[in-house]
Amino acid sequence: MSKRCYRQYCSLARALDLVGERWTLLIIRELLSGPRRYQELLDNLPGIGTNLLATRLRELGGEGIVRKVLLSAPRIRAYELTEMGRALEPAVVELARWGLAVRGQPRPDDHWSAQWSPLALRARFQADKAAGIDAIYEYDVGGHVFHARIRNQSIETRPGTASSPDVRLVTDEETFLDLATESLSVEQAVESGRLCLEGTPEAIRSSLEVFAA
């Protein structure tokens, strides 16, 4: 009757007992950028099936990884990560970092969302190249705005604008994807007007270098 599990006293096996099932870590990925409503999750997880999403959310709720909340303003129901859920972030980032090397090029019917940009940036972040950098970079990818704070050779990302970013990067979704897949260089993107970079030349250089392939 109870959920399938590995029956091993190993912290990896226990972690996988809780979040190792199909779709679970992708749900966590969605919620890592903030509370989301049921329909938003369905939209960004094409193929999941409504029953499975409901089941996963219930399980994650029971395990204390996700909780239901009422967003203020328009009081609508949504799901958000608990502290235990947010603690999965390093693991998610490391998996994504590994995935970078194996992901290849997009396939014709691959889904893609600008909401994944913060995770993509964090996966590409290279701590060793960030020594001595203390800066805030703001990104606007087709209207999805977020910013990253680089400090102590680590990175944090948050939704929304930053108060006084050292660099602002504005582009559309297609260009950002082209940059991510390295089918377009930053120089080409700027020259063709598809990418706008604001900041001192030195700050811009740093902001690109810490994510260099």
Partner DNA sequence: CGGAATCCTCTTCGATACTG
Partner DNA sequence: CAGTATCGAAGAGGATTCCG
26's contact among a copy of itself, DNA, none, with CB below 5 to 8 A by partner kind, is a copy of itself
- Residue 48 binds DNA, judged by CB under 7 A: yes
**Choice between 38 and 174, CB closer to DNA:** 38
Q: For residues 56-85, which are near DNA according to CB under 7 A?
A: 57-58, 76-78
Cα separation, 170 vs 194, in Å, equals 9
Nearer to DNA, 21 or 174 (CB): 21
The minimum distance between CB 40 and DNA, in angstroms, equals 7
Q: Shortest Cβ distance from residue 146 to a copy of itself (Å)?
A: 16
**Side-chain half-sphere exposure of 202, counting CA atoms within 13 A:** 3
Residue 55 interacting partner from a copy of itself, DNA, none (CB closer than 5 to 8 Å by kind): DNA
Residues 6+ apart with CB under 8 A from 133: 150, 151, 153, 206, 210
> Contacts with a copy of itself in 131-170 (CB under 8 A)?
none
Q: Which of 8, 12, 13, 55 binds DNA (CB under 7 A)?
A: 55
Tokens matching residue 38: 């049921």
Q: Report the C-alpha gap between 177 and 120 in whole angstroms.
A: 10
**Distance between CA 168 and CA 126 in Å, rounded?**
20
The option from a copy of itself, DNA, none interacting with 170 (CB < 5 to 8 A, set by class) reads none
Q: Which does residue 95 bind out of DNA, a copy of itself, none, counting CB within 5 to 8 angstroms by kind?
A: a copy of itself
Closest CA to 192 of 212, 172, 213: 172
Q: 46-61 burial, b for 16+ CB within 10 Å, e for fewer? A: eebeeeebeebbebbe
One character per residue 7-26, x = contact with DNA (rule: CB under 7 A):
--------------xxx---
Q: Are 29 and 119 in contact (CB under 8 A)?
A: yes
Look at the block and give the residue holding tokens 């006084």. Answer: 164
Dihedral pair phi/psi, residue 171, rounded to 5°: -160, 175
In 3D space, the residue among 110, 84, 74, 85 whose CA is nearest the CA of residue 30 turns out to be: 85
Task: Report the C-alpha gap between 38 and 170 in whole angstroms.
Answer: 29
Min dist CB 154 to a copy of itself, Å, is 11
10, 15, 37, 64: which one binds DNA (CB under 7 A): 37
Question: Between residue 71 and residue 130, which ones bind a copy of itself under the rule CB under 8 A?
Answer: 84, 87-88, 90-104, 106-107, 109-113, 116, 119-120, 123
- Binding site residues, DNA, CB under 7 A: 3-4, 21-23, 37-39, 47-52, 54-55, 57-58, 76-78
